[in-house]
Amino acid sequence: MSDKILVLGSNGQIGTELVTALRSGYGSDNVVACDIRRPDYEIKNAGPFEFVNVLDKEILKAVFEKYKPTQVYLLAALLSATGEQNPKLAWDLNMNGLLNVLDLALVYKTAKVYWPSSIAVFGPNSPKVNTPQFCTMDPNTVYGISKLAGERWCEYYHQKYGLDVRSIRYPGLISWKAAPGGGTTDYAVHIFHEALKKGSYSSFLSAETELPMMYMDDAIRGTIQLMDAPAENLSIRSSYNFAGVSFTPEVLAAEIKKHIPDFKLTYSENDPRQEIADSWPKSIDDSYANKEWGWKPDFDLAKMTADMLMNLKK
């Protein structure tokens, strides 16, 4: 029997690229893209698509019933900056969406569930440099609070019911294919678009704000690598620390100037996202991911910048 894979929240920044990667690996008909909105991307027409609201358990159940998935990727979420504008909705979507999927995965004997966490689980009292896998976690955004609670639920369902749940704490993700989804690290995507369109960019984060980031190609590869890893190799059922490259707006701008010498970076003040960024790590220790499932990023800052500009120019 072939794998049937559901990707819930398939239209987002991660979902659009994950669906493409999974379809190339498992075959288009075996990967079902699911979202609350009609997809804009041609690739979605290359395989099955279902309208699904993860908070509507009956519709969700009907999709599980129809496809009997062996793997489910739950990507539907409200991100950090957007979540602060509507905290109750963010909690509802991020938490109850997860619980609905975990419950149905048990009923339909889904072999593996993937759910993304985030560096937002760390807070003001977490170590900032090489933030370890296990440390103080005191998130101060509703997004981070929901992700930390979600990690505990994932671990609970694994320990209590034997459900094979897997998770990664994503850093800021940088991609040229899809628009960012309302996160605190979005400047690192917008800056490339503006550099090419206007030759300048006004950053909402300060010059010295260093944050962990990752190129989307690495994020997708790492996600599938974790899902393909033998279960007996995995010791962490909350969520794995996952690292790519850390930089500040100033450092990123300097790299862009190597390609666009006249590029100008300015800074706007009093943006609420600055406070969120200040509570997050500057760099991440992902030695568990490296040791247990062989994780290593391919893209450093120079390679990522060159690839972003080349693809956006097209």
The angle at the Cα of 147, spanning 142 to 151, to the nearest 5 degrees, equals: 150
What Rg, from alpha-carbon coordinates, does the chain have? 19
Question: Which residue's structure tokens are 């930089």?
Answer: 247
How far apart, in whole angstroms, are the C-alpha atoms of residue 226 and residue 289? 8
Element (H, E) at 312: helix 301-313
How far apart, in whole angstroms, are the C-alpha atoms of residue 21 and residue 86? 32
Which of 73, 114, 143, 288 is flagged as catalytic?
143
Is 67 assigned a catalytic role? no
Strand bridging mode 211-215 / 245-247? antiparallel
CB 193 within 8 A of CB 227: no
270 has which bridge partners? none
How far apart, in whole angstroms, are the C-alpha atoms of residue 40 and residue 11? 8
Widest distance between CA atoms in the chain: 58
Give the C-alpha distances (Å, rounded to integers) separating 104 from 61, 71, 113, 168: 7, 12, 11, 21
Q: 259 by DSSP, 3-state: which?
A: coil
Residues acting as catalytic residues: 143
